[in-house]
Amino acid sequence: MGCQEIIRDVKDTLSKAVFSPSTLLSGRGGLHAAQILLGPVTFVLSGLRGWSSHTYWNYAMFTWIFCPIGTLLITVIEMFKLDVPLNLFCMDWMDFSTGWAMSSALMTLSVAITYGNFYLCGSCIYAWVVFALALVCGLVYALEVVKDKLLDRREGSYLAALPGFWKVLEAFVSCMIFTSLSGYRDKPALVLCVVAYVIPFPIIPLIIATNILKKLKKCLPFNLDRFVFIFLVVSVLLYVFAAVVWPIFTFRNNPRPSECPPSFCIWAVEFMVAFMTYVNLLLFTVDLLFTLLGICGFKRT
């Protein structure tokens, strides 16, 4: 009887699914509107400045489109009340939407800092405008996180909680490593490091998606928590290998140049790979330890 009532409520909700601007008139709706506007505007202004093959610039352009598109989809779903059936049958919607804001804040703020590092100068007025818009975009996403977590007291079940966001951090640092990779093609040892970076990366979003889609998680033919534990052990071993090999084969007989501007110094970019390797090694190690101890919501089997 309870299940029939739920289905009837969902059908009733869907039958009344009409466009309502009330979602946009709320404080959170206003933040979404600002995010949807600021991202593409920053994208267009940066593109008008001139296209570049620089990997950091390409990642910034991707972020300024990817994050607002996700926010737009969330806004449309909430305007048509489609989050109700999604919440009942597929996922914890509040956890997903807050987790999206947290991930987008991480991406947009880091992109703003990176853009400023590479393209700002004393007389670059146009670059300062793009940087200011990028920074405001990141701060608007951060404001949504503050509103959701501190003001609205939204409780996260995975993505907006520590275990899920920890996976987001691991994926984000991996993206920073891939964006910074250079000078490895003629060195087999460094190619092996790249393989070590690549192996865990596609599995992280699959773990995140499976934990978000709670019905899918129940249909898996294996225990997901046990799989995650094995994945973490393998990831730690791979990053230990990269943390040892990359610095040796990159910086041996290769000291920092006397002049090494951050915008085009290959040594500085290679150092970024080494630094991010240690960051991700720390993240995976803490993730593994927390999983072993079963604390802070990290599940173990």
Model pLDDT for residues 198-241, shown as the tens digit of each residue? 999 999 999 999 988 877 777 778 888 899 999 999 999 999 99
pLDDT in tens, 2-14: 556 656 665 665 5
> φ and ψ at 48, to 5 degrees?
-65, -25
Percentage of the residues of the chain whose pLDDT score is greater than 90: 51
> φ and ψ at 114, to 5 degrees?
-65, -45
**Residue 72, pLDDT score:** 95
Token digits for 161? 């909680």
Token digits for 188? 């087999």
Look up the pTM and report it: 0.88
**Residue 86, pLDDT score:** 81
Residue with tokens 């040594």: 267
**Residue 140, pLDDT score:** 96
Which distant-in-sequence residues (6+ apart) come within 8 Å of 174 by Cβ?
A: 197, 200, 201, 204, 280
**Residue 107, pLDDT score:** 96
Ramachandran category for residue 153: left, alpha or beta (phi over 0 → left; psi -120 to 50 → alpha): left
**Residue 166, pLDDT score:** 95
Which distant-in-sequence residues (6+ apart) come within 8 Å of 277 by Cβ?
A: 177, 193, 197, 239, 242, 243, 246
Q: How far apart are CA 264 and CA 248, in angstroms?
A: 22
**Residue 168, pLDDT score:** 96
Q: How far apart are CA 162 and CA 155, in angstroms?
A: 11
Name residues of the chain where pLDDT drops below 70. 1-25, 261-264, 301
**Residue 254, pLDDT score:** 81
